[in-house]
Every structure is written in C-alpha cells, then in structure tokens.
Structure 1
Amino acid sequence: MKLSSPAFGDGDPIPQKHGYDFDNVSPPLAVEDVPDDTVSLALVVDDPDAKKPAGKVWNHWTVWNVDPATGEIAEGTTPTGATEGRNSYGNSGYGGPKPPDREHTYRFHLYALDTELALDRGSTKAELQEAIAGHVLAEAELRGTFEPR
C-alpha cells in the first residue's frame, strides 16, 4: 500500500496553506495498492516532535471508515462516508501543523483494515488505535515537515 501527496514529497516541507495558522486545510492525498480484502481505511496524522514542548504526541487528524476504493482524498475534504475523530486542538476534523519551537515532522499514517469501525464521531486517536488492534492488513506512511513562520 502506498500513501503520497501531490502537494509535497515524502520528507519534504508541507505547504504553508495546510498549517493551522494559515488556511488550515488538509493536503490532498493519493492512496494506491490497497489490499483486495480491505474493508475500510483509517488515517492518523500526528506530530511526534511535539512530545517535548507539548508533553505528548500531538494528534492533527483521525479519520476512519474510509472506503477502500478511495484513490484520492481531495484537499480540504473528508472522504464521503468517513468519520472524523477529535484532534489535540479539541475539535473534530483536521487541525494543521503549528509547531511552537522549531521544524517538526508530521506523520500521515494510513491503515488498511479488515473491518469497519463502530466508533463515534469525535473519538480520540487512542480509541481509534485500540479499535484497529488486530484488524490491520497493511500500513503506509507519508512524512512531511513544517516549521514556525
């Protein structure tokens, strides 16, 4: 399985407009080579570099029950029929990068699952991770960087 973005390459800077203090829109994502037996996809976007200044890995977006036939997640959209969880800003939906101290690396982690998830809108990343345990068929990751402006 592969996850990429036409907006930035793996390990490259995420365009400014996707930042929390700018347009705060999710970047476009492309999904390829999903296993045939996948029932749903889940996406987690987080910032492990926030652990030092924030005291935890900062969660920017959790989305689940994405149709496995989804080849593209358009900029600023949630896939049709998918459910969004609560981010570390306290909102449901996408919350863009906003590093407080230096350049941070952001992980876009995609999971192919053998089930749909019975989680309520606004569930946390921890609840999502608990729900997918034992159901992951494949994983893909895209990384991007963002620095304070």
Structure 2
Amino acid sequence: MCAERADLKIISDFSYDNQVDSRYTAIGENISPPLRIENLDEDADTLAIVLNDADAEIERTTHWLIWNIPAVIDNIQGNIPMNLKKVPELDGAYQGKNDFGDIGYRGPALASSTFEKPHTYRLIVYVLDQAIELEPGAGEKELLEAMKGKIIQKGFLSGNYQP
C-alpha cells in the first residue's frame, strides 16, 4: 500500500526552471544528478530511484534504476558510475538495466529530429519499508513488481528536455 506523503522533499539541480540541466543529458556530461531527500517517514528502510521519459513515442523509456539505497543515506552523490551493478558508496545499492541495455544512468539524448516537442523526464524516488529481493541488473518491470506492498512514500522531480 502506498501512502504518498506530500511532505517528502527531493532536492536536486536535475532540473532548473522546469528544464533538465544539460550536465545530466547524454549530450552533456551524462552523469546522474546528486539528490537530497528530506522528511522521510520514520519507517523508511531503503530508497529506490527510477528516471524515465514519460513522452517516449512507443512507451515510457527508462533511463536509470537504482534500489536498496539505505534510507539513512539522505544525500545521494551525483555521477554514480555506469556499468556498476553494486555501488559501494551507497552501501552496495543495486543498479538496474536501462532501456538502452546499459547498467546505470543514461541521460536524455535523442536527436532533435525525433523531438516534435519537449519530452518530460520524471525522476521518481520511492521510499520503502524494507529492502528489495531483486538481483542487480534487473529492469523496471521487475523492480516495480518487487516494490509492491513495500512503498510508504513516493515523490518526484520533473524536467523538460529538447535538444
């Protein structure tokens, strides 16, 4: 059961003035953004993060999956290495496979000819009451299934991007 609390606060420079900062695009530095999470529920055990393109033509495109981040880590570093299934700096949190076939973060980067309008990218933070039993390298569908019944808070940041 998801009890979405309005007071979950996600602070990041991922987007500014509703635009994705170019550092976090594949055309820019292609690095994951730093995040600070505030007002976590007292029962929070772990965090999971999903970044997707809600405006992809066929279906939502996943750009980043990371889970089992201990909730005591409320400042998540930026530039988490790609192709690293376990992140030692985040107490062994797991990264999943994005829709480009890579492990880790892949920022927005479609060619301008494929964008008729800006795409909205949503960075979703899930607060869970327990760790997820899911091997690193899993995809979004597996992650969402594994989180069922464990989500106690949820919040997001969004930003638009058009090259």
Q: Which amino acid aligns with 2:109?
A: K
The 3-state SS of whatever aligns with 2:63 is: strand
| Residue of structure 2 equivalent to 1:59 | 62
Read off the aligned partner of 1:72 and give its amino acid letter.
N
Tell me if 1:146 matches 2:161: yes
Distance 1:123 1:12 in 2: 30
Contact 2:13 2:21 in 1 (8 A): no
TM-score normalised by the chain length of structure 2? 0.82
Q: Distance in 1 between matches of 2:154 and 2:124?
A: 7
Q: 1:96 to 1:7 in 2, by over 3 A?
A: closer
Measured on the aligned residues, the alpha-carbon RMSD in Å equals 1.5
Number of residue pairs the alignment of both structures matches: 144
TM-score, normalization by structure 1: 0.90
Cross-structure match for 2:11? 4
Q: Which runs of 5+ in 2 are unaligned?
A: 1-7, 81-86
Distance 1:48 1:8, change over 3 A: closer
Unaligned 5+ segments in structure 1 are none
Over the matched positions of the two proteins, sequence identity in percent amounts to 32
Residue number among 102, 117, 139 corresponding to 1:91 in the alignment: 102
Q: 2:120 aligns with which of 105, 109, 113?
A: 105
Deviation at 1:42, TM superposition (A): 0.6
Task: Give 3-state SS (helix, strand or coil) of 2:23's partner.
Answer: helix
Does the 8 Å contact 2:62/2:99 carry over to 1?
Answer: yes
Q: Secondary structure at the match of 1:65?
A: strand
